[in-house]
């Protein structure tokens, strides 16, 4: 017996089904598109990929209204392809990675950019910038047998500002621009961690990140995978 009720299992919706994907951990890849690395003031050489994490219960189904988080004046959106692991393993070979993938989705790696800048400056961890409540809105997962490609396809994000008639395209790139492909970075991740069913991997964002403010409606998608819609709620 637990001393109180165990926390509810975090989960994400599955396209075309009432079943849900149970989430174990969320791994995120940093700076995995050249133009985004440059906009963050970094040299986009193929230095080894690095990872950070979010708690499993940071996930939100979309469409949703994401509460504007505490402690920030600079909440940023980052559109990302999300990989859902269905079969665990470690030291997974690149050519075997696809056998471990249950499905793919579109997610937002929401970021308190001001806290990230402070953390970088002070040489501190990124958790406060990345791993806060509701920081991972994710659209429904498409089972891998219905996904055409994880190596190419448009990835995009648009913002519809309150009171404006038109949405503005902010991020518009292609999965083929990934510095470390899905096969490559999951193989590398599996050398550091034993991957398990339920793990999600956010694969990095293309250029064009920027601030989202209360009242904004964010839409985004990955061709052949799916989409999402997130409204930004009022400040706390």
116 binds Mn ion (CB under 5 A): no
* Per-residue contact string for residues 29-68; x = within reach of Mn ion by CB under 5 A: ----------------------------------------
Residue in this structure with the two tokens 């518009």, named with its chain if needed = 172
Lay out the sheet containing 217-222: strands in order across: 64-66, 226-232, 217-222, 154-160, 168-174
Work out the end-to-end distance of the chain between its first and last CA atoms, rounded to an integer number of angstroms.
36
Nearer to Mn ion, 205 or 231 (CB): 205
Nearer to Mn ion, 49 or 198 (CB): 49
Nearer to Mn ion, 96 or 207 (CB): 207
CB of 111 to Mn ion, least distance (A): 7
Nearer to Mn ion, 34 or 109 (CB): 109
Stretch that binds Mn ion, among 14-22, 36-44, 65-73, 202-210 (CB under 5 A): 202-210
Characterize 30-59 residue by residue with b for buried, 16 or more Cβ atoms within 10 angstroms of its Cβ, and e for exposed.
bbbbbebbebbeeebeeeebeebbbbbbbb
Strands 168-174 and 64-66: unpaired
Q: Which residues bind Mn ion (CB under 5 A)?
A: 78, 109, 205
């Amino acid at each position: 017996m637990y001393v109180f009720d165990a926390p509810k299992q975090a989960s994400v919706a599955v396209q075309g089904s009432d079943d849900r994907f149970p989430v174990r951990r969320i791994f995120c890849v940093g700076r995995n598109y050249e133009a985004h690395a440059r906009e963050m003031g970094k040299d986009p050489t193929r230095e080894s990929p690095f990872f950070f994490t979010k708690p499993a219960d940071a996930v939100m189904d979309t469409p949703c209204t994401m509460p504007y988080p505490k402690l920030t004046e600079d909440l940023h959106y980052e559109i990302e392809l999300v990989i859902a692991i269905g079969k665990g393993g470690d030291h997974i070979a690149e050519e075997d990675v696809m056998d471990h993938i249950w499905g793919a989705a579109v997610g937002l790696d929401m970021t308190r950019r001001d806290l990230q800048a402070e953390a970088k400056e002070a040489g501190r961890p990124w958790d406060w910038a990345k791993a806060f409540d509701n920081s991972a809105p994710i659209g429904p997962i498409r089972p891998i047998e219905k996904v055409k490609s994880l190596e190419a396809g448009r990835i995009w994000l648009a913002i519809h500002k309150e009171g404006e008639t038109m949405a503005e395209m902010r991020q518009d790139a292609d999965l083929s621009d990934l510095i470390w492909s899905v096969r490559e970075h999951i193989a590398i991740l599996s050398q550091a961690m034993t991957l398990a069913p339920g793990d999600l991997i956010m694969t990095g964002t293309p250029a064009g990140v920027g601030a989202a403010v209360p009242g904004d409606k964010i839409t985004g998608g990955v061709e052949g995978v799916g989409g999402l819609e997130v409204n930004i709620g009022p400040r706390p």
